[in-house]
Amino acid sequence: MLTKEETHNELFTMGHTGCSGCAQSMSVKLIMEILGKNTIATSATGCLEVFSTRWPESSWKIPWIHSLFENSAAVASGIEAALKYMGKKDEITVIAQGGDGGTADIGLQALSGMFERNHDVLYICYDNGAYMNTGYQRSGLTPLDAYTTTSPSGKQSFGNNRPKKYMPEIAMAHRIPYTAVSSAGYPMDLQKKVKKAMAIKGTKYLQVDVPCVPGWKYEPKYSVKLAQLAVQTGLYPLFEAEYDKIISVKKISKKVPVEEYLKLQGRFKHLFKDEAGRAEIEKIQKIADDNIERFGLM
């Protein structure tokens, strides 16, 4: 347990209303430990904004702005430009934050503009695979066959029928200085990549896999285990890239079958009912196997 003094010094504090086992709040805490107090943050509408800033309370001990769903990157770009004009940019880190929907769907245009102009901002996408705070609707980062309220499983469908949009490669295609993918299941990897991003001038993109208890429908005790299984199966490759070149990957010592990951989540339970579901699991296994080969994970 943290001492009273240690708690007082935290920049993302207790008292928020995130769910028990919320991997997003765990990741924010880890990230803020590295960023430090000389940070200005924007947050798109989403879970993080909702559970950390119930007026008149706030869990943030840094300057923090709630942007619209679509313009977290644009607001951060403006902050960065103003700091440059005032000659203070070298003293202050600017971060923009969004969920997977606010990043890859609604906010993609503003984010692309920030990439293109190469603002000195770290953009962080907390990827929980759906629009969780508004009722678990499908996003562009929802994985294949996952149940959501807008891609339900049933007689007509196995759930989401489109592949997960590969957002990190969209960032890399803009040839920004640094792109990284990390996970709530690997705190040291996450903090190392944040520290590295802070040392690089220009636009940085960091995507973090953050399991969601109510959206993925699992017991809170499995948050870290699920994040680790996503990596160990090959479904969520962790890597770093500079401009459009991958420079490092987190290797898998022993590949885990995707069933071990899927069976812990209620959003995939329909895949385990019959042989038709077995064929879908094989499709997901192929996605993992292709990732392992493509990124050289073993």
In this predicted model, what pLDDT tens digit does every residue of 118-161 receive, in sequence order? 999 999 999 999 999 999 999 999 999 999 999 999 999 999 99
Is there a contact between 107 and 98 (Cβ–Cβ < 8 Å)?
Answer: yes
- How confident is the model over 186-207, as a mean pLDDT? 98
Query: What is the C-alpha separation between 95 and 37, in angstroms, rounded?
Result: 12
C-alpha distances out from residue 52 to 30, 43, 111, 128, Å:
15, 10, 23, 17
Give me the residue spans of the domains in the chain. 4-295
234-276 pLDDT per residue, tens = 999 999 999 999 999 999 999 999 999 999 999 999 999 999 9
pLDDT number for residue 9:
73
Q: 240 φ, ψ to 5°?
A: -125, 150
Give the pLDDT band of residue 1 (cuts 50, 70, 90). Answer: low
Per CATH, the number for 4-295 is 3.40.50.970
Q: How far apart are CA 79 and CA 60, in angstroms?
A: 18
Residue 7 pLDDT more than 70?
Answer: no
